[in-house]
Structure 1
Amino acid sequence: MNAADLAERVREGDLRLHELESHADPETAAAARRRVVANEAGTSLDSVGESHLAAADTESTIENLVGTVEIPIGVAGPVPVAGGEREAEHYLPLATTEGALVASVNRGCSVIRAAGGADARVTKRAMTRAPVFRVDGVVEAEAVVGWVRDHETDLASAAESTTSHGELVDLTPYAVGDSVFLRFGYDTKDAMGMNMATIATREACDVVESETPAELVALSGNLCTDKKPAAINAVEGRGRSVVADVAIPNEVVEERLHATPEAVAELNTRKNLVGSAKAGSLGFNAQAANVVAAAFLATGQDAAQVVEGSNAITTVAAREDELYASVSLASLEVGTVGGGTKLPTQAEALSLLGVRGGGSPPGSNADALAEVIAAGALAGELSLLGALASRHLSSAHADLGR
């Protein structure tokens, strides 16, 4: 059946939009769906329908497909990064519609390059899932917490039985009245790991329910915390906790950022630290979300997790002959396998970084991706702080016509 006939059947009520793939190949189903929704809205979806991406390639990443939205992608760099897994120069792919962003990050990359490169390290790997259980009161809560602490090995065995890669690395109980939360943390290797953590935790919850009076209310009790601003992620981390830093000679600061090291350090303190604290912010940085979001879109990460990924602290100190700068991202949730990383353009962006697919050892590719994103965020911080310290921010945007 062709797209026009399928669309007519939907309009007549014989089929629903989500049933189209059961009656045609993915491309025809998407074309029929475009016809239906465009006709009802009185508009055209011709551009949305023009894509080299095969509909069949999207089946695990989208439902009710009508086409694709193109986002311009640029590159910043190269930026030399000495990471925990590898040392290399990278072009950082950034997908964005914000004019001047890539130019800004590119300038920061040139500063880092002139300084000899950035160091970066993943300091923690723990994708979390935190179910909530119902208990009778604090006495039962104490008993459940005590049992969990005494049987972490049993819960780890149950959780890890569901995956060939995931490893339970942390389990912290929290009692709140007649609720008990268990925050499970997993090393998910090269996968972002949210699905892995959810499936593994479900198995562990069955053990808790069978061995204690606790009753599972929800597999996610929001103490995880996924896709929401949360202090626990800033403190304990989620996904990957990663730090990038650089020591920049004073002459490089003045030549490339057009400001003194003391001015940049003072600005960071007053803006990123004091200003953010006064605002009650969970992020103490200038524009980390910009780089995280653009890198996520380019490499097929879950875009909503920019909420946690931009949970970052930027520190700057003027030393005797250099400016020290760092950015610490507590909860950067990235992967190089699964999800959107399988789409052709996103896979190419990962290949550009040399981190496509599973790493050897497992987890090394996702670690390297996190370290490069952190270095890119550091470049963005340096560039924006320099623009503000030299009072060039508005003129830069004006010159670029943004």
Structure 2
Amino acid sequence: MTDPATLADQLRTGERRLHELDDADAETAAEARRQFLAAETGADLDAIGDFTFDAGQATDANVENFVGSAQVPMGVAGPVAIDGGAADGEYFLPMATTEGALVASVNRGLSAIDDAGGATARVTDSGMTRAPVFRVAGVAEAETVVEWVDDHAEQLREAAESTTSHGELLAVEPYVVGDNVYLRFAYDTKDAMGMNMATIATREAADLVEAETPAELVAISGNLCNDKKPAAINAVEGRGRTVTADVTLSRELVEETLNTTPEAMVEGNTRKNLVGSAKAGSLGFNAHAANTVAAMFLATGQDEAQVVEGANAITTMDAREDGLYASISLASLEVGTVGGGTKLATQSAGLELLGLAGGGDPAGSNADALAEVIAVGALAGELSLIAAFCSRHLASAHEDLGR
């Protein structure tokens, strides 16, 4: 086996390039890249060479030009009781973050929720989308394509599902813009986040559309899916899991735990999260849902870029006779408990902490439960942050914990 120093010399002389070390053992190749980069840049890279996951697995499934790991501190919030459609019981929430005060803030919100008897959560819709764009001569051909798609739903389903043993095609929604035809495919991907599954299945269905209609495929993703970008279609139609969590806190609990009143919370939420967001043209009407989504995504191996869609959430609050009603609805939370980053050791441990590692029984139940738990965590974060600025404690909390 070639040693790391020899491989690093080959990189320096140009005999090999960074990606041409993959014939070597993954850890050896990573060490060679670190030695080369340290010499080239003067950086001390010893820390990134300290990792516990399997290097070969990571290079096979998760990363290219592997050099090591980026470690993010992980904390835990909870426990909190959840009455969900899939999540049922008490949960500790793993959160990986570099933002001081975040875990403490979510933990405070979870404490209030738990003292109220727990939160309720439900996944109300589910479907991973992929929307290829086709070229046609004009609107007449577009109509022909749309009519064919409407008349041959079963053939499209058979073609798409021939590529997967788990995914199910739920619907195909056509959109016409001039000489462009977009077909938005939606799939039930069970416990997988399902982006790769949806792409492969859609490619098979797109081949059928090309063979049977005048349409010519331009791109397997025409951005009407819409993946990893702020998009109104995901806010309205949803993508991945659409999930809502809510809780009612007594007046005493709001006053004693959150140091404010239901009326002040409602006003703060309305003026900041609703009116302020509307004026800003925001697609998310919430205080900081992305904070909890991102921290739990990193802790459980989700695709971190899809925090963009995860922030597509609306927080509501209402003062009632029995106290404060609060909810958060996340329109497009894309999560899975199998595949991708969920196989890495530390992320798998995060899922195990939740009792949600691997496939659920029935299929899809673990991913549904994960979505519900994240929603409750986001709700806790909303309660805590809104209470902080209503009681004017936000700055002092960051001074104490943000460091």
Does residue 56 (structure 1) correspond to residue 56 (structure 2)? The answer is yes
Contact 1:30 1:67 in 2 (8 A): yes
Q: Which residue of 1 aligns with 2:374?
A: 373
After TM superposition, the score normalised by the length of structure 2 is 0.98
- Tell me the percent identity: 70
Partner of 1:190: 191
After superposition, residues 3-402 of structure 1 pair within 5 angstroms as: 3-22=4-23, 24-59=24-59, 60-402=61-403
User: Following TM superposition, by how much is the alpha carbon of 1:52 offset from its aligned partner in structure 2, in angstroms?
Assistant: 2.3
Paired residues, number:
401
Q: Which moved more, 1:37-46 or 1:311-320?
A: 37-46
Whether contact under 8 Å (1:244, 1:371) holds in the other structure is: yes
Task: For residue 220 of structure 1, give the secondary structure of its aligned residue in structure 2.
Answer: coil
Question: What letter is aligned with 2:73?
Answer: P
- Aligned to 1:189, the other structure's residue is in SS state coil
Query: Which consecutive unaligned segments of at least 5 residues does structure 2 have?
Result: none
Unaligned 5+ segments in structure 1 are none
Displacement of 1:11: 1.4
The secondary structure found in structure 1 opposite 2:210 is: helix
Task: Map Cα deviations across residues 158-216 of structure 1 (whole Å, 9 max, x no partner).
Answer: 10110010011121000000000000000100000000000000000011001100000
Q: CA deviation at 1:53?
A: 2.5
Query: Is 2:54–2:344's contact at 8 Å kept on the other side of the alignment?
Result: no
What CA RMSD, in Å, does the superposition of the two structures yield over aligned residues? 0.8
> CA-to-partner distance for each residue in 1:335-358, whole Å, 9 max, x for gaps?
000000000000000000000000
**SS where residue 56 of structure 1 aligns?**
helix
Contact preservation (8 Å) 1:126, 1:170: no
Structure 1 CA distance, aligned partners of 2:272 and 2:52? 44
Cα distance in 1 between the residues matched to 2:199 and 2:104:
39
Secondary structure of 2:35 counterpart:
helix
Residue 399 (structure 1) shift: 2.3
SS of corresponding position for 1:136:
coil
Change (3 A) 1:45 1:200: same
Question: Which deviations, in whole Å up to 9, do the C-alpha atoms of 1:273-326 show, x marking residues without a partner?
Answer: 000000000000001000000000000000000000110000000011221000
Q: Which amino acid aligns with 2:206?
A: C
Amino acid at match of 1:161: S
CA shift for structure 1 position 401? 5.0
* Secondary structure of 1:341's aligned partner: helix
> What is the Cα deviation at residue 234 of structure 1?
0.2
TM-score by length of 1: 0.99
Deviation at 1:36, TM superposition (A): 1.0
Counterpart CA distance in 2 for 1:26 and 1:197 is 30
Q: Distance in 1 between matches of 2:47 and 2:400?
A: 31
**Counterpart residue type for residue 27 of structure 1:** E
CA distance in 2, matches of 1:294, 1:242: 18
Which one-letter code corresponds to 2:192 in the other structure?
Answer: A
- Conservation of the 8 A alpha-carbon contact between 2:87 and 2:373: no
Amino acid at match of 1:29: A
Q: In structure 2, what is the Cα distance between the partners aligned to 1:15 and 1:263? A: 63
In 2, the alpha carbon distance for the partners of 1:296 and 1:401 equals 21
Q: Summarize the Cα distance change of 1:206–1:319 in structure 2 as closer, same or farther, 3 Å threshold.
A: same
- Does structure 2 conserve the Cα–Cα contact (< 8 Å) formed by 1:165 and 1:189? yes
Q: Which amino acid aligns with 2:53?
A: L
User: 2:38 corresponds to which letter in structure 1?
Assistant: A
Q: What is the identity, as a one-letter code, of the residue corresponding to 2:39? A: N
The CA distance in 2 between the partners of 1:387 and 1:14, in whole Å, is: 58
